[in-house]
Amino acid sequence: MTKLIEIKDLCKDFDNDGVVTKVLHSISFSIEKGEFLSIMGRSGSGKSTLMNILGFLDRATCGEYYFDGKNVKDLTDDEMAEIRNEQVGFVFQSFNLLPRTTVYENVQLPLMYSKLPVSEHKKRIDDAIALVGLTDRTNYLSNQLSGGEKQRVAIARALVNKPSLIFADEPTGNLDSKTAGAIMSTLQELDKQGITIILVTHEEDTARHAKRMIELKDGIVIVDKRIEDRIFTSNGGGVKK
């Protein structure tokens, strides 16, 4: 397989009025295209900081980050923003849907900043909505949806630009266990289609839906392993191990 991400001796420090806090310490690993990886760790482990760097929301203090063969250190802020908008999709715990707007309009949002011809928008949006099983909800307002439906809209929005990489940041944190299972099943279906997914979570059971797990503690990778006892969850929320 081809590497999508490679990081070497990556570190991140935060300087607050001369007080330096070291958050990530010399982290190294790679991610193949089409891989489903979970990054797990307790609050304060550095997983959100790492996600922000990998997702082009922040820069590392030291070390190397290669994305699809490009050294991110050599990219301008505008070039980073372009990659973030066109090649990366984000799914957050809080859904981040626009209020009083339809499913269609929420999924359309990333395309408003893309170079894709407007004539192609409708098909992209319809395809993304269909992929998460919400075609019959296309014209529903966001406040008419259940929590699980809102998260599936967020996934469709992340997919609409056909990104190289999707980050799912605690995507089940606001959902009951049955609905959370359906969301994890959706991510596993996307994995089968060859989409690269990075799942960020503090829960081991959630992390075990991925194929590989990296665990952080105090900004250091303490585990990097294939998941042998992977959890498979049906769309109905049932769990199969």
Tens place of pLDDT per residue across the chain (241 aa): 699 999 999 999 999 988 999 999 999 999 999 999 999 999 999 999 999 999 999 999 999 999 999 999 999 999 999 999 889 999 988 888 998 999 999 999 999 888 888 899 999 999 999 999 999 999 999 999 999 999 999 999 999 999 989 999 999 988 888 889 989 999 999 999 899 999 999 999 999 999 999 999 999 999 999 999 999 876 654 444 4
Residue 239 to residue 71: CA distance in whole angstroms: 40
Residue 216 to residue 111: CA distance in whole angstroms: 34
With tokens 């997702």, the residue in question is 55
Residue 156 to residue 234: CA distance in whole angstroms: 19
Using alpha carbons, select from 237, 230, 97 the residue that is nearest to residue 176: 237
- Token pair for 77: 């802020």
Tell how strand 239-240 and strand 232-233 pair up: antiparallel
In DSSP terms, 234 is beta-bridged to none
Residue 141 to residue 124: CA distance in whole angstroms: 19
Q: Is the backbone of residue 132 left (phi > 0), alpha (psi -120 to 50) or beta?
A: alpha
Using alpha carbons, select from 135, 145, 147 the residue that is nearest to residue 179: 147
What is the model's pLDDT at position 212? 97
What is the model's pLDDT at position 4? 96
Residue 55's CB: how many other CB atoms inside 10 A?
20
Residue 118's CB: how many other CB atoms inside 10 A?
9
CB 49 within 8 A of CB 23: yes
